[in-house]
Structure 1
Amino acid sequence: MQTTLADFIKGTREGTEAEAILRSCVHCGFCTATCPTYQLLGDELDGPRGRIYLIKNVLEGAEPTRKTQLHLDRCLTCLNCETTCPSGVKYGRLLDIGRKLVDERVARPLGERLTRTTLKACLPRAGLATPAFRAGRLLRHLLPEKLQAKLPPVRAAGRWPTRTHPRKMLVLDGCVQPGMAPNINAAAARVLDALGVQLTVAPKAGCCGALRYHMNDQDGGLDDMRRNIDAWWPSVENGAVEAIVMTASGCGVTVKEYGHLLAHDPAYAAKAEQISAMTRDLSEVLALFQDRIAALAKGKGGPPVAYHPPCTLQHGQQIRGKVEGVLQAAGVDVVLCADNHLCCGSAGTYSVLQPAISLALRERKLASLAATGADHIVSANIGCIAHLQAGTGTPVTHWIELLEQMLS
């Protein structure tokens, strides 16, 4: 795509990156066919190709409007378009650049500003988010129905293994997951303990940075990333750990981008690159233990279980088949729904900021999952799990919790 950048962005780091992305787009439209918001709304500007045009116009000097902002806001950043694109267009990076430019020039209504500020201030801080979730559960009956749905019952974490092993890995606690589902990391630690791997938490690590970064507080998001690198670096530098494990695929896709996102920071570029290289989704780690898992499970079976692969895993990290393989090794009959490549509508804070679209996508996804006949749904990201559970009476859990049951 031919592009002539405006003077305000020409020659800058973001301008150079955006221009390269735009020039790689051949405008074929394959991405449109797999875009959830285009399928739902039928508007070209609510698909990747239309949004690319909007961003291109801004980069070339056109003044963005509230309408421009709205169409960019409606993007889920599911990255299904990147999986579909035959030209390898890095649409997600272009969207981050475009959203930042538009938000710098287009004022949001007061209500939106307050909501976004609250989300950015509270959710990335586990010290605020966890007590807020606890208080919400205590006062659940006083809350509006929409808020009640976002507070599913919490499963106790249970014991954290105390045995030591020569093989050690770090795990990110994150920001929302400790308050919403503390059992996920604990279950991962117990499963890995049974396989001879010790999982540890760096106390000063927190939000991966995705929440603030993708809500256009990019400086704040980068600060979150630097804090995590500082927390992990002593264990990485002295060779005490062999990997950094992510139990939430939304965090994993971001941490794997640290090297790119901090490449401009001379104090962190090399460290960020190494951190990204060491980061593994939990399914990548456990896929290496499938024979051992099969032996520990001893052929246990059960009714079919529906697996919902998060967009951040299958499109963001391009990881497919590993969760299914691990569960199948443990004797689980795993089924996928017909539209397993499409987003469930959670998409981080999207379900709060774009509730109508989010709920429509959830209903479509739950109908597809119900059609599998499974009476249990598993996924690999806390956002998807909480979002889906709010719309169904069918149990929705993290797949590692199911695996732990199979091994116990």
Structure 2
Amino acid sequence: MTREYLQAWYNNGDISYSEKERLNKLGVGDYENYSLKNLKQILFCERVAKDTWIRNKIDGTITKIEFFWPRINTVNFTTNYSVAFVRNSNGTWWVIVYRSSYAGEIESDLIVKTINGNDRDRIRRELSSDNPILALAPTSNWISVGEIIKSPYVNIKTLPSEAKNNPDRYILPLDIVKRPIGTSGFYHFAIYLGDKWVVHITGKEEGVNFDSWYNFCNPSGGSSSSAGLGSGTITKYHPVVPFKQYEIVYPHIANAIASSYGKARSKRIGEIDLDVYDYYWKNCEAIANEIIFGIDTSIQSRGNDAQISLRRLIEATTNKLGSLPCSSGTYRVFFDQSLDCMGDAQKNRIYNRSQEITKDECFNGYIEVQPNPPCKIQ
């Protein structure tokens, strides 16, 4: 990738005078070497910081910024994550994680969090690991489920009625969705795959299965089904930062469907199968959470206070879902179908910016700047 002085990029007409001034203010010297891609990405991040509530989160004047691109698999998106470590004049550090959205009614992803400056290497490493959420989640060994399946780690949003007709405008593949079960006060959960398809479990007779969006929203009910009757308002649970890289989640989905995960099987007298569907322990919410978040628990049946060790639980559920017994042929069918749904969902959305351009918007390498003099986001 070509690197030139900032002044050279300006002389060549690739950087405007106002852009050069903004970069100078951020600490980019006229005779420092940068790729044009990185300079444009710094300008993009500066613009985002001014246009969002980020500026209200960062106190004081900024003395140092470190930019990088985490290796988060963005197969479901057309945009990349950008990350910045920001230090103010008092020595306080923040991490900012951002992914822009240019599609329909789908929100951009943003986390701004105060951190210990000594944790920067760990955060950078774990954002590019199999479980990016571990970079940002509470670091204590035991936390409650309610501390993690909530904002800012999970965007929980009630969707308008139009989402039932055009779900790809509002929901991304691998978001969890729920709807009321009649007037029971309980909800049925599923994983949205895209293009009006879901993965869910409706009872121990079927196990995890591939189903239509229409059937999820308008179930027929039945004595053996936990999905119940009635539809109601749809709510989505979107991981702001993936709990598991998506290249891991898709095989887990295929394994779960191909093995009919959760289905009751014959067993010896006195044997207990903890992986069979159960209204309390292993219901539709618990299985959806297990596949997407790596957390095999149901908040609606067990509450927010269930204590978990997030790192160990994700590791355990990942190992289990990755080793479910199923035929390779059946696995391949459902793996391909799940990826096809994701690809078709992208085609169903209306983008307000070229996907080819947004896919290339990311940092190349680790970029460090020191505003001189220190400045505020304003």
Same fold (TM over 0.5): no
Higher helix share: 1
Select the structure of larger CA radius of gyration: 2
Q: Which has the higher contact order (CA 8 A, sep 6+)?
A: 2
Q: Going by fraction, where is strand more abundant, 1 or 2?
A: 2
- The two structures have a TM-score, normalised by structure 2, of 0.28
